[in-house]
Structures are given as C-alpha cells and as structure tokens.
Amino acid sequence: MKTTTKLCLLMCFMFVLGRFSVALATECNMPYGALGRERGTPYEKNMAKDRALPVDNESKMKYLLIHLQNRIKIGAFPLKSIKTSPKVEIYREKMSIRDEDVLQKYGYRLGVTLGDGSYGCVKRAFSVRLEKDVAVKIINKRVASKDFLQRFLPRELAIVQRLQHPNIVKVYQIIDTPDKVYTIMEEAPHGDLLEHVQTRGAMSERRARETFRELAEAVSYCHTQDICHRDLKCENILLDAHGHVKLTDFGFARDAPSDDRGRPTMSQTFCGSAAYASPEVLRGKPYQPSSYDIWSMGVVLYIMVVGTMPFDDSNVRKMLRKQMDRKLNFSSTRTISQECKLLITQMLSPDVSQRPTIHEVLNSRWLRSSQSQPPTCSAAWRLESSSQPSTTESAMVSR
C-alpha cells in the first residue's frame, strides 16, 4: 500500500512539474533589446544561438544567450516598484485591453512587428503627438518569469527614465497594465551595427572612429551616473536615420556607485552574451561592471575594424584560455593602425587593473588622432540602401 501511495505521489509530482515548466525559448533577432532573456544563469547552462559573424573565413561564430531552466508562468501583477521620473510619462491601467486599444488611447497607431521574443515583441507605431514613428516594446507579464518582473524589469525601467543622451535610445512613455508593460521609445530605422558589418564588411578606421566615439560617449555618460550597461554588443548598438549611434537594451544595467572608501561596486550576476563576456565574468568571479563594459567595447571595436569575432566562443572554456593567454590576432589582409591595435589590446586585457577606464578610452591616442573627424550625417556607408550590399570596405567606398 505504501509503495502504491508513493508511486501515485511521484506521478502527481511529475504531472505538476510538466504542467508548469516551460521549454527554454530561443531568442529571435530583437531590436531594442531581447525580450525573454533570463538573468543570472551560469554560462555553461542552456545557451541559445543568436546571429553569427565569422570567426575567420572557414567558420561561423555562435552568439550565446542565457536562459534559466524551468521558467514558470505566473499571474500578472502591477509593477509598483517602478520609480517615476518627470522626464518620462508613466501611466497605469486597471483593466486589461487589446494592444491596439491601449496604444490608441494614448495617441499611437500600432504598425508592423519589428521583432519577437519569448516575453513579448517590439512593434512600430505612429505617434500622433510626436508626428513620427516610434518603437513599442511590449512585455507580456503573464509569461515572464517572476524574477524578471520583480527584479530586472523595474530596474531597467527606472534606469531608462534617467538617461537623456543623444546616443542613447530615448524613452518617451511607459504604460503599465495588469497583463502587459508598454515602453514607447524612439525608433532607429537603420538597424544595428552587426547588420552593417555582416552586409558591408569591416569599416575603415575613420568611419569606425566616428561610430566608436559615439558609443564611448554614451557609455561615459552612463558611467558618470554610476550606471553600467553589462550587455554591450553590436546588436544593442542601433543606428538612427542619420547613421548616429543609439545605445539600447538596458535589461542588464545596474547602478554601481563606489562605496564610502571609493571602492567600486562588485557584481556577481552573469550578464550578456558569452562572445562579449570578460574572463572574470566567464569564470563566475565577482567583477567590476564598469570594467566589464570596457571589455565588451573592445570586442565591438575589434569587430568594427576587422569584421570578425576576436575569439571563437563555440567552446567557451577554450575561448577563456585564449583570453587569458592574450591570443588576439588581427587580420593580415587589412591595414590597422598601431594606435587602434593598442586600444583594442588594452581594452581586452585579462588583467582588470590594466584595462582603461571609459575616460581613458575617450582620451586614447586613437580617438584623439588628427585623422579624427566629428560625427556627421554625411557618412555615406550608414545611409546606403543599395539592394546589392558589399562585403568589403573598398566596395563600400567605391559606390
């Protein structure tokens, strides 16, 4: 009898577990930030493939996103912990209504879907008040994890309200309903940096310098406010109608002020994609989030001027060894200045104490080079809409 009872209890437990556990969702290509990424998972568990860049001419790169095991569906609840800001309008609805009706109430005409994720989607909408297209990130609270809703989403929404910089995606409005959260932000119609490198190849140093300076200025602005992004990568660097950088996706961002003795705040949560992760993050050690941002910027700059990933992350343990051994190879087919190589090498130093601060990056010899030009709207490569994309920089210039 006891055996039968135990068997019945075991079967009931397995039924309940299967009922409430959901399969890990593979992230789609998401503009304005991925929807449905889970936070804090060790890098070795449940990584999903993202868009790829070649490591070299013979192999393809795999981007890895992190997901928690056994994500549980939960009931919706209001995000009471969202802090308000006079810079961003926040509205709370008591009733659940259709997306179209919610947005129409606040003066938006819903358009096409720009991307999908396991927690929701990003859609284009036309703002009657602003008289222009905007992007709307829609988070479905009924399918999002409890940890995401209680911890990470409120933190992200609180941070984006404070950010007012020309190279950071501007958030106009946040609408919170019992079932969903709508974040209305400016649209970046020219895609992200990864798309440009994939279709047009590596940039010339002059053009890379313009774009990288804008990224560095956006990160410097964040660090000045004690905010660290912790997920800097080419997919999160959008380009507006004039080709200027718009940094997005602050889902992993956090406040990281120094303590009373001036010591930096340490983080322990694994964040972002393994391809852009620093050695200390991959090893699961407490890390300085600002130094992590610098490492990720080094990966981004390498991709911009070389056109491939600096490290092959198809085997993360092997990649970590190469990072620690400083095995960084620059393309022999492209001419890259010593100043640019030096900056990349410094940012990709496995020794955190040897990595430059964002202030030192902005004041590096490469960014202060006499060849440097202020960002302009005439960067032709950014605005091209040719149906025959080039794969080399020389082909871009010849158009």
- Name which of 44, 42, 48 is nearest 28 in CA terms: 48
Task: State the residue for tokens 């790169």.
Answer: 61
Q: What is the CA radius of gyration of the chain?
A: 22
Which three-class secondary structure state does DSSP give residue 162?
A: helix
* Burial of residue 126, with CB atoms counted within 10 A of its CB: 0-12 exposed, 13-18 middle, 19 or more buried: middle
Q: How far apart are CA 146 and CA 289, in angstroms?
A: 24
Distance CA 225, CA 256 (A): 9
Is there a contact between 200 and 357 (Cβ–Cβ < 8 Å)? no
CB-based contact 156:251 (threshold 8 Å): yes
Q: Binding site for ATP: residue ranges?
A: 137
Cα distance between residue 124 and residue 171, in whole Å: 14
Q: Give the max Cα distance, the chain.
A: 86
Please indicate whether residue 147 is annotated as part of the active site. no
Which two structure tokens, joined as six digits, stand for 163? Answer: 């950010």
> Which string of b and e fits 157-192 if b means at least 16 CB within 10 Å?
bbbbbebebebbbbbbbbbbbbbbbbbbbbbbebeb
CA distance 248 to 110: 21
Please enumerate, by residue number, every residue annotated as part of a binding site: 137
Residues 6+ apart with CB under 8 A from 185: 32, 134, 135, 136, 137, 160, 169, 170, 171, 172, 248
Residue from 99, 176, 192, 231 carrying the catalytic annotation:
231
Taking the C-alpha atoms of residue 379 and residue 389, their distance in angstroms, rounded to an integer, is 16
> Who's near 195: CB < 8 A, 6+ residues apart?
none
- Backbone torsions φ then ψ of 114, nearest 5 degrees: -95, -25
Euclidean distance between CA atoms 358 and 168, whole angstroms = 16
Q: Which residues are catalytic?
A: 231
